[in-house]
Amino acid sequence: MSELYGGLSALKDGTFTFDEVLLYYTDMPLSAFVFETMINKKKEGKNMARIMNQPTVDLRGFTPEALRKIKSITNVATVILPEDMPDGFSEAYMQIKKMNIAGEIRVPDSAQFFNGDVTLTRNDVTNDSVIMCNGMAFVSDIPEDMNVRMIINGTLIKSESAFITVTSINGTKVEVSDDVKPVKGKAQLTFDKNFADNIEKKTILVACGKIYISDDVTEEMLSEKQVKFVSVGKIIARRELHGYIQANSDAVGKVLTAEKAKKTEKKKLFRWK
């Protein structure tokens, strides 16, 4: 049995053979191209493919014949189906075994897809558009009459001027005022005195992992700059700052001291030994 980790290059390079495929494919939604590449590497007569543990599975562009090669779809937040299903698509899809699917949504082929961190305004979208974001999206200045729909897998930061319809979300939605300035980190973000001195007021710090607040940062600095936090993971800071952080944060796993965070990591390592 083969297990895949990684992106499109791992599927393209021809190094994998398949009996039964388990997909742990986290960097973008599973698409028709990825699936067809995967299927072409399978030997004839072997077991059908199973799709598992995906944030999003995009079945637009799949033929009924390709769908019939899928045995099951399990542990998926959102399955994306074509808005206009071709002949035989619905019947083939109904034959797939499904477990733990949070939602299904029908989306036109014209929908735009963004992977990673993205900032969107009226200049980046069109009227009646459907936007799919896999990662972190900051959305502002989109008029209501543009009729924009969004599908989010990750974190959505929506300003007051963003009149959008969130059709589906697997993650967190945060609403902020129009004068908030986002500062985005990747896996983690470190906030120190020098950082605090160089940001504008009403800055929101965003990270998909941890946020570290250095010991040289005081509550007075945070209050003066009106800093807010959005973190999918932990926020690590001195205990004296915990009250401010908890009152000015969204989507936070836990607020911990450095000592507590180290103990938590040691316990995780111990469990894996």
Q: Are residues 85 and 16 in the same domain?
A: yes
The reply to whether 83 and 119 lie within a common domain is: no
Distance CA 194, CA 201 (A): 14
* Residuewise pLDDT in 10s, the chain (273 residues): 333 333 333 333 333 333 333 333 333 455 555 555 455 444 444 556 888 888 788 898 889 988 998 889 999 888 989 989 989 999 999 999 999 998 888 888 888 888 878 899 999 999 999 998 888 889 999 999 999 999 888 889 999 999 999 988 888 888 888 888 877 666 688 999 999 999 989 888 887 778 899 999 999 999 999 998 888 778 999 999 999 998 998 755 688 888 777 766 554 444 434
Are residues 131 and 207 located together in one domain of the fold? no
Please report the pLDDT score of residue 41 as a whole number.
46
67 and 120 part of one domain = no
If asked whether residues 58 and 97 sit together in one domain, one would say yes
Are 101 and 13 in the same domain? yes
Q: Are residues 31 and 103 in the same domain?
A: yes
Nearest to 230 by CA among 244, 251, 212, 259: 251
Of the residues 87, 107, 127, the one at which a domain ends: 107
Round to whole Å and give the CA distance between 273 and 258: 23
- Judge if 157 and 224 occupy the same domain: no
Domain boundary among 78, 107, 136: 107
Domain termination residue (choose one: 160, 176, 192): 176
If asked whether residues 35 and 94 sit together in one domain, one would say: yes
The backbone torsions φ and ψ at residue 260, rounded to the nearest 5 degrees and listed phi first, read -65, -40
The pLDDT score that the predictor gives to residue 168 is: 83
- Residue 259's pLDDT is 79
187 shares a domain with 126: no
Range of the domain at 120: 112-176
My answer on whether 90 and 6 are in the same domain is yes
Query: Domain count of the chain?
Result: 3
3-state secondary structure the chain: CEEECCCHHHHHCCCCCECCEEECCCCCCECHHHHHHHHHCECCCCCCEEEEEEEEEECCCCCHHHHCCEEEEEEEEEEEEECCCCCCHHHHHHCCEEEEEEEEEEECCCCEEEEEEEEECHHHCCCCCEEEEEEEEEECCECHHHCEEEEEEEEEEEECCECEEEEEEEEEEEEECCCCEEEECCCEEEECHHHHHCCCCCEEEEECCEEEECCCCCHHHHHHHCCEEEECCCEECCHHHHHHHHHCEECCCCEECHHHHHHHHHHHHHHHC
pTM of the model as a whole: 0.65
The verdict on 18 and 98 lying in the same domain is: yes
